[in-house]
């Protein structure tokens, strides 16, 4: 897809960093090693986002077992593969291959059972999985998913050479691949050459964070190193954020969304609004009614 040279964006009152989060090492699926950057403790603060996992390793033992069949209900999963190959299959008969730079956006809605399995026995596997909540009225909606190859994703390029893949939201005149009116998510992968800045307007009510995965990024006076997430302050008068590459080139995810402000009840891969709905999800799964 051609990369248009985009108009510059104006940010007069950039947000500051509220705090930096390191995440914690854990494993999931059949033993995939990963860093859980957003966990249940941050679900209120970062509403509508429920989870962010970062995985990155060149040791096959850390990823080879993958994620065999497991269910989801009540939210969306967005898997962004930086490097590697992963095949997904679900109970509705869908199947796809996610590889270098590709995105799978899946709306679990009332429920899917799927597997996510590596299609490589060596080499680097690196990427992210983000969980985005659904409003109560959409939690039992029909499941949906779409795969985007790297070449299909919209990209914005600024005059200073910063490139942003716009998975969701809008940036420098480029509309994202996916839009969701209820949560109005922004999901940008920003590649900053050395000595460049990137300005991104954001609605003031959105909860927002930046996860740096290469190099080092400065936001105001705060430096964020690779492998760290910066939660951006919700200052009422702020109109966006300015990312600056620090000491060399850098890459970061910039993610924001409109909070749902609804009760969150989570049990593993089910995220509903109350316990009764969780019990229902468990019994639907047990009795084969989920998919
Ligand atoms: Fe999954």
- The pLDDT tens digits for 198-229 are 999 999 999 999 999 999 999 999 999 999 99
What confidence category does residue 3 fall into, taking pLDDT thresholds of 50, 70 and 90? low
The stretch 56-65 carries a mean pLDDT of: 91
What's the chain look like in SS3? CCCCECCCCCCCCECCEEEEECCEEEEECCCEEEEEEECHHHCCCCCCEEEEEEEEECCHHHCCCCEEEEEEECEEEEEEEEECEEEEEECCCCEEEEECCCEEEEECCCCEEEEEEECCCCCCEEEEEEEEECCHHHCCCCCEEEEECHHHCCEEECCCCCEEEEEECEECCEECCECCCCCCCEEEEEEECCCCEEEEECCCCCEEEEEEEECEEEECCEEEECCEEEEECCCCCCCEEEEEECCCCEEEEEEEECCCCCCCEEECCEEECCHHHHHHHHHHHHCCCCC
Phi, psi of 187 (to 5 degrees): -140, 100
| CA 71 – ligand 1 centroid, Å | 7
Examine the pLDDT at 290 and tell me if it is beyond 90.
Answer: no
Examine the pLDDT at 231 and tell me if it is beyond 90.
Answer: yes
What pLDDT, on the 0 to 100 scale, is given for residue 230? 98
As a whole number of angstroms, the distance between CA 8 and CA 291 comes to 46
What pLDDT, on the 0 to 100 scale, is given for residue 286? 95
| CA 127 – ligand 1 centroid, Å | 14
The stretch 31-50 carries a mean pLDDT of: 96
Examine the pLDDT at 151 and tell me if it is beyond 70.
Answer: yes
| CA 72 – ligand 1 centroid, Å | 7
Contacts of 285 (CB under 8 A, 6+ apart): 71, 73, 111, 113, 270
| CA 195 – ligand 1 centroid, Å | 38
**In whole angstroms, what separates CA 59 from the centre of its chain?**
23
> Looking at the chain, how many residues does it have?
291
What confidence category does residue 5 fall into, taking pLDDT thresholds of 50, 70 and 90? low
| CA 167 – ligand 1 centroid, Å | 19
| CA 232 – ligand 1 centroid, Å | 28
| CA 115 – ligand 1 centroid, Å | 7
| CA 256 – ligand 1 centroid, Å | 22
| CA 116 – ligand 1 centroid, Å | 7
Contacts of 264 (CB under 8 A, 6+ apart): 43, 44, 47, 50, 133, 271, 273
| CA 159 – ligand 1 centroid, Å | 38
| CA 103 – ligand 1 centroid, Å | 14
What's the whole-model pTM score? 0.96
The stretch 181-208 carries a mean pLDDT of: 98
On average, the pLDDT of the chain sits at 95
What confidence category does residue 6 fall into, taking pLDDT thresholds of 50, 70 and 90? low
| CA 70 – ligand 1 centroid, Å | 6
CB 234 within 8 A of CB 205: yes
| CA 230 – ligand 1 centroid, Å | 25
| CA 240 – ligand 1 centroid, Å | 32
What confidence category does residue 92 fall into, taking pLDDT thresholds of 50, 70 and 90? confident
What pLDDT, on the 0 to 100 scale, is given for residue 168? 98
CB 216 within 8 A of CB 247: yes
| CA 131 – ligand 1 centroid, Å | 10
């Amino acid at each position: 897809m051609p990369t248009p040279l985009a108009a510059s964006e104006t940010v007069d009152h950039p947000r500051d960093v509220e705090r930096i989060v390191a995440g914690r090492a854990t494993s999931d699926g059949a033993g995939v090693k990963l860093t859980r950057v957003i966990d249940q403790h941050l679900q209120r603060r970062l509403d509508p986002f429920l989870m962010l996992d970062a995985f990155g390793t060149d040791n096959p033992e850390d990823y080879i077992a993958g994620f065999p069949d497991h269910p989801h209900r009540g939210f969306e999963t967005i898997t962004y593969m930086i490097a590697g190959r992963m095949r997904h299959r679900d109970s509705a008969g869908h199947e796809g291959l996610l590889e270098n730079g590709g995105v799978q956006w899946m709306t679990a809605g009332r429920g899917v059972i799927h597997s996510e399995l590596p299609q490589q026995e060596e080499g680097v596997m690196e990427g992210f999985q983000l969980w985005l909540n659904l409003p109560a009225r959409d939690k039992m909606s029909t499941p949906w998913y779409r795969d985007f190859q790297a070449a299909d994703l919209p990209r914005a390029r600024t005059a200073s050479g910063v490139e942003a893949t716009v998975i969701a939201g809008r940036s420098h005149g480029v509309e994202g691949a996916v839009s969701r009116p209820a949560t109005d998510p922004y999901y940008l992968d920003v590649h900053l050459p050395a000595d460049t800045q990137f300005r991104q307007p954001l609605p003031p009510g959105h909860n927002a964070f930046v996860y740096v995965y290469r190099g080092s990024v400065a936001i105001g006076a705060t430096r964020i190193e690779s492998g760290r997430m910066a939660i951006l302050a919700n200052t009422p008068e702020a109109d966006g954020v300015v990312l600056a590459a620090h000491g060399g080139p850098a890459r970061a995810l910039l993610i924001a969304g409109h909070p749902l402000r609804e009760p969150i009840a989570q049990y593993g891969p089910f995220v509903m609004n109350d316990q009764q709905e969780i019990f229902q999800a468990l019994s639907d799964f047990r009795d084969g009614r989920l998919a």
